[in-house]
Chains A and B, each alone.
Chain A
């Protein structure tokens, strides 16, 4: 569904990402992992057209995404940003309705169909109760759910999430990632998610893509990628991987010495 073909990104003559190729199929959650500053967020911004790419191609539903007009791109790929610096002027319902931007005419009038889609999106992420509240006054976890609802309102089947659990406590981390997983499994979304927490990636992703020094160094099921041999050099410290006592998957720990 989403196919990145040898993406190269340069910024001020510096190569940020080099020759990254990656497919995300419908019904699949792929986690982007790697140290801070390795280019996870940059890759997500590049796929959505926020950063120019120096080489390669992004295909979404067999179409060359970055050559499409902005409105059509937004109908194929929706992005869930981190819930920071949100304007306080808007209510949850108004924010979610902004997901319909790509479908409105030049007068910007929302139709009954747009309202119904926004309504369904709010129900899907359990924020309907908050509809009349202002987004600025919500907790981080609630804001993140609102942003997911807004992305769902775009009716795009490819979702990109940029560290959605970054500032959340354990309960909200689990809530958001379970929702993400359900969207892939039950509704066939293709999901690419940048995560810095390796254990969350191990638990919720079907495949993980490990980025290091601007290149994709490993791609595969969590047990194959999340190994001490592969992670230690990338993160520059000794890492041990154990078997998770509850689910049998990989359990990553940094060694203190």
Chain B
């Protein structure tokens, strides 16, 4: 008896060490994924700002950017300054925000539906947001500050309604199988897209320009779209970062999550609203860009695991970097002509999705 107690004591000490090691471990090791993703983002930002019809040396880009915050003088041509601050940076900012929003909300939808194949595009939410945005643009083409804010708001309404509709259609009894979820998402999404297309083709004048937007092109220039979507994206992604721990608990299923004391229905509502808000803001001025919300979280999951406390922030950073790089490809392969970025993401993303499906068939998920 005494011996057992002593044994237990020793084991206890060892255990304490192992737990403290575990607690230290996430921080020390998880710093490197953040460094990787952040480094990729910085590189993508610099490259995107530098490359274009007029190339600005990356060093000049860095100097010009720093000159705005630090008192240093730069001897770059005046045209560089105009191109960088009035044309290229707004585009870069909107692209980065869109990528962050799509990948962040994609990761959240995956957690919500407990399935790595969920993404705003496959669930039809992006198309619903697109229809909302088209309706707003049809009522008034964004020119004033107010009409710029109206587009993401209308997209948000479209996104939430679509998410609820798809979820209701996909439900079989008490469960939501991924097969019916994706079927419902694709069907509803196709319907929404065709209504949007119809509206755009029927429209006179300005709205015809939206066709390029619909394919995922950054049609509107300047800082106004960035300012209009920034608050929604910050709010939406902020909420998603907070609910990352409840999303972890949810991975054990609704029953167990409830037994552990999680208000499951409230968490689901919050995630749907926050992820739809983020998706809507991304779609509002960037159009339908597929597969980013699927591919980026999945690559991060493969490399650094499925803990949502890490997956969501890393997806946000990685999504920004990823979409910037894809946009760079879209701008340069056929230069001076520009491909809609959504075309390129689909070109890369669709084979990736097929590979994912094949993999999922071979082994149980995760």
Contact A45 to B255, CB < 8 A, known contacts A98-B249, A107-B242: yes
Q: Are A154 and B260 in contact (CB-based, < 8 A)?
A: yes
In the bound assembly, the distance between CA atoms of A118 and B18 in angstroms comes to 13
Closest 4 A/B residue pairs (Cβ): A102-B261, A74-B261, A89-B306, A108-B245
Q: Are A101 and B261 in contact (CB-based, < 8 A)?
A: yes
Query: What are the residues of chain A within 8 A of B259 when measuring CB–CB?
Result: 48-50, 74, 77-79, 81
Contact A89 to B252, CB < 8 A, known contacts A78-B259, A123-B11: no
Q: Are B253 and A85 in contact (CB-based, < 8 A)?
A: yes
User: Can you name 5 A-B residue pairings with CB atoms under 8 Å?
Assistant: A81-B259, A89-B251, A93-B19, A94-B307, A123-B15
Q: Are A99 and B252 in contact (CB-based, < 8 A)?
A: no
**Interface residue from A50, A70, A88, A132 paired with B262 (Cβ < 8 Å):** A70
Q: How far is the CB of B124 from chain A (nearest CB, A)?
A: 26
Query: What are the residues of chain A within 8 A of B249 when measuring CB–CB?
Result: 98, 101
Q: How far is the CB of A93 from chain B (nearest CB, A)?
A: 5
**Interface residue from A77, A89, A119 paired with B366 (Cβ < 8 Å):** A89
- Name the segment of B21-29, B88-96, B281-289, B290-298 touching the other chain: B21-29
What 0/1 pattern do residues 232 to 261 of B give for CB contact below 8 A with A?
000000000010111011011111111111
- Chain B: CB-nearest residue to A50: B255
Query: What are the residues of chain B within 8 A of A91 when measuring CB–CB?
Result: 22
Query: What are the residues of chain A within 8 A of B18 when measuring CB–CB?
Result: 128-129, 131-132
In the bound assembly, the distance between CA atoms of A73 and B260 in angstroms comes to 9
Q: How far is the CB of A140 from chain B (nearest CB, A)?
A: 16
**Interface residue from B16, B21, B251 paired with A132 (Cβ < 8 Å):** B21
Known: A107-B242, A136-B366. 5 other contacts (CB 8 A): A70-B263, A85-B253, A94-B307, A101-B260, A131-B15
In the bound assembly, the distance between CA atoms of A77 and B19 in angstroms comes to 26
- Chain B: CB-nearest residue to A135: B252
**Which residues of B (1-39) have their CB < 8 Å from a CB of A?**
11-12, 14-16, 18-19, 21-23, 25
Query: What are the residues of chain B within 8 A of A106 when measuring CB–CB?
Result: 242
Query: What are the residues of chain B within 8 A of A101 when measuring CB–CB?
Result: 246, 249, 257, 260-262
Seen from chain B, the residues whose Cβ lies within 8 Å of a Cβ on chain A are 11-12, 14-16, 18-19, 21-23, 25, 114, 242, 244-246, 248-249, 251-264, 305-307, 366
**Which residues of A (122-165) have their CB < 8 Å from a CB of B?**
122-123, 128-129, 131-132, 136, 150, 154
Does A179 count as interface, using CB distance less than 8 angstroms?
Answer: no
Query: What are the residues of chain B within 8 A of A4 when measuring CB–CB?
Result: none
**Interface residue from A79, A87, A132 paired with B25 (Cβ < 8 Å):** A132
Query: What are the residues of chain B within 8 A of A74 when measuring CB–CB?
Result: 259-261
Does A253 count as interface, using CB distance less than 8 angstroms?
Answer: no
Q: How far is the CB of B226 from chain A (nearest CB, A)?
A: 29
Q: Are A81 and B256 in contact (CB-based, < 8 A)?
A: yes
In the bound assembly, the distance between CA atoms of A90 and B247 in angstroms comes to 12
**Which residues of A (92-114) have their CB < 8 Å from a CB of B?**
93-94, 98-99, 101-104, 106-108
Q: Are B252 and A98 in contact (CB-based, < 8 A)?
A: yes
Q: Are B261 and A73 in contact (CB-based, < 8 A)?
A: yes
Query: What are the residues of chain B within 8 A of A166 when measuring CB–CB?
Result: none
Q: Are B15 and A119 in contact (CB-based, < 8 A)?
A: yes
- Chain A: CB-nearest residue to B307: A89
Query: What are the residues of chain B within 8 A of A16 when measuring CB–CB?
Result: none
In the bound assembly, the distance between CA atoms of A103 and B22 in angstroms comes to 21
Contact A88 to B245, CB < 8 A, known contacts A79-B259, A128-B19, A131-B18: no
Query: What are the residues of chain B within 8 A of A122 when measuring CB–CB?
Result: 15, 19
Q: Are B307 and A90 in contact (CB-based, < 8 A)?
A: yes
Does A181 count as interface, using CB distance less than 8 angstroms?
Answer: no
Contact A132 to B255, CB < 8 A, known contacts A87-B366, A101-B261: no
**Interface residue from B23, B114, B260 paired with A99 (Cβ < 8 Å):** B260
Query: What are the residues of chain A within 8 A of B16 when measuring CB–CB?
Result: 119
Q: Are B22 and A93 in contact (CB-based, < 8 A)?
A: yes
Does A86 count as interface, using CB distance less than 8 angstroms?
Answer: yes
- Highest count of chain A CB atoms <10 Å: which of B114, B244, B307: B307
In the bound assembly, the distance between CA atoms of A91 and B19 in angstroms comes to 11
